[in-house]
Structure 1
């Protein structure tokens, strides 16, 4: 078959090349401790959008470093039964989407929580406070300072904090907490389940934010990864710090978090993806030790994958 990356047999054995920092585990334990010590100050505000069967609420909480984070929360109205909950994460620069996008899950008895990533297209706050580029480039935000200030560290923690908050909402079944998202949303799905082990099922689709050095070596630091090239051009034009930079990015490389995942995984991947190359996705997937499977689309890239949303529905319903 045509290929833009490795043959499938090699993808299934690929282990990634971006460095893993030696203190990676300590880094994330310190980050989680900061999250646990943060007073979430949860606020629920009824949305203007309501239906006779679905209650729609704007959920706000305080994340690490004091940012107020927004999520859309839709739940069955007047439900008397325990509800499974789905966490939904959006693509890079996007937002939580329309309320209408959440109604399919609620119609099946789920509660749904859709996060707005801080500083992107929704209502979550980005409080800044780092040196260097802030106009574009959330991957590289914080690279000029201590790794504890990397923006995606904070965004990853927001996903785990939202998961924890979801489990405190009335009627949520703690045994049925699920997560899903595409591209950046796929990366956040994996990060969330890695940092919050109570996520029981997760369905990431062509996840972003994995194996940065592989992206660089494939000359695909463009599109969603363009800021890697921007960073080198602005701050390290002769690549004197290349190893240091990729090692620091290793703190927010989802492949290094993947082994922490406990939930069952369904990964969707297009083998012609030039935005999030298949090898970078498999670098994370191959480190997952829990029950897992893939849905492979040989002729598709970073685009809609026919039938996959239906399979994700069935996966969360226990029918697939």
Structure 2
């Protein structure tokens, strides 16, 4: 289907006025500095699972996320590694859960640690997600996740998700087999938006790979996207005609195009010009505002599938170049894995 959005030449320079909400940095600093709900810090837990694989070790992970509540995931590591590993932390697309333990093996097969973070409340199949969302605002007026707790930034769903993501990055940096200076965050669609948010909230990342990112220039996306998930917000506002201004004020704190202005790590973006789910102008809004070194691969005749495995090949090359050279080191790279 031909693109109904801006042409590529205009997208490359598209920098719309996107006002930063009042207290943006203070809001996120306070959120990430909150103590666990019971005041008692909990350490990440790693339980090795037998997937029947001999070349990859897999761990069932539980990380204390927002409010100290557990966020689950899979940690894959190449068998036989003898030095601290670079790590790719992956956030998932809308509605997806972490899936089965043996599913996502590319990064471990390339020689890196790979943490797949479950997205709280998502994962609609029996083998999907393992992380619940029971906080206030977890129930939305409109089906889906985009309007959960949208009445205020404090109760909004993605406040919890972005905090979960930051905690997962912190967890892998503390893992004895992972080099804390060689951590890359990535994701497709929703996962790309989460990765961009993390890029602005966490210092010292080695790289960021937002792939057809969601949650960018949300006001424009809600107004031009004709298919879900952005349509959830439009549906909410059809029901609540007097809430347009406060809803977009809430969403501004979670707009990845704002977080991109705080980023410093190198970034490799992808954008698809016929994407009806994440319109290309919204993805380019984040790319053009991204404050660190950056590059973008454009898939002119693709929809939301983007570059798919073709782009994965580009990412493999890019991450290998980022991680070139010896690891920065741990006290002892032979430290045993957590039980």
- Give 3-state SS (helix, strand or coil) of 1:28's partner: helix
Q: By how many angstroms is 1:230 displaced?
A: 2.2
Q: Is the 8 A contact 1:268 1:294 kept in 2?
A: yes
Matches within 5 A, 1:117-136: 117-121=119-123, 122-130=129-137, 133=140, 136=143
Question: Partner residue of 1:262?
Answer: 264
Moved more, 155-164 or 127-136: 127-136
1:64 and 2:66 aligned: yes
Task: Mark the CA change 1:46 to 1:39 in structure 2 (over 3 Å): closer, same or farther.
Answer: same
Question: Partner residue of 1:313?
Answer: 316
Task: Mark the CA change 1:128 to 1:271 in structure 2 (over 3 Å): closer, same or farther.
Answer: same
Q: By how many angstroms is 1:2 displaced?
A: 5.0
Question: Partner residue of 2:77?
Answer: 75
- Which of the residues 295, 299, 309 maps onto 1:297? 299
Q: By how many angstroms is 1:166 displaced?
A: 0.3
Q: By how many angstroms is 1:217 displaced?
A: 2.8
Q: CA RMSD in A?
A: 2.3
Q: By how many angstroms is 1:221 displaced?
A: 5.1
Q: By how many angstroms is 1:240 displaced?
A: 2.6
Matches within 5 A, 1:162-311: 162-218=168-224, 220=225, 222-234=227-239, 236=240, 239-305=241-307, 307-311=310-314
- Give 3-state SS (helix, strand or coil) of 2:264's partner: coil
Structure 1 residue ranges without an equivalent (≥5): none
Q: Is the 8 A contact 2:146 2:229 kept in 1?
A: no
1:15 and 2:19 aligned: no
Question: Partner residue of 1:141?
Answer: 148
> Within 1, Cα distance between the matches of 2:41 and 2:119?
19
TM-score (norm 2): 0.86
> Within 1, Cα distance between the matches of 2:75 and 2:158?
23
- Which of the residues 89, 102, 105 maps onto 2:104? 102
> Within 2, Cα distance between the matches of 1:128 and 1:264?
34
Number of aligned positions between the proteins: 315
Q: By how many angstroms is 1:77 displaced?
A: 2.6
> Within 2, Cα distance between the matches of 1:30 and 1:105?
33
Q: Is the 8 A contact 1:67 1:127 kept in 2?
A: no
- Give 3-state SS (helix, strand or coil) of 2:267's partner: strand
Q: By how many angstroms is 1:19 displaced?
A: 4.3
Q: Deviations over 1:92-122 (max 9, x none)?
A: 0101244344322212221110000001011
> Within 2, Cα distance between the matches of 1:149 and 1:13?
34
> Within 2, Cα distance between the matches of 1:135 and 1:49?
38
Moved more, 192-201 or 86-95: 192-201
Q: By how many angstroms is 1:78 displaced?
A: 3.6
Question: Partner residue of 2:90?
Answer: 88
After superposing on structure 2, the runs of 4+ consecutive aligned residues of structure 1 that deviate more than 6 Å are: 35-38
Task: Mark the CA change 1:202 to 1:35 in structure 2 (over 3 Å): closer, same or farther.
Answer: farther
Structure 2 residue ranges without an equivalent (≥5): 124-128, 325-339
In terms of fraction of residues, the more helix-rich structure is 1
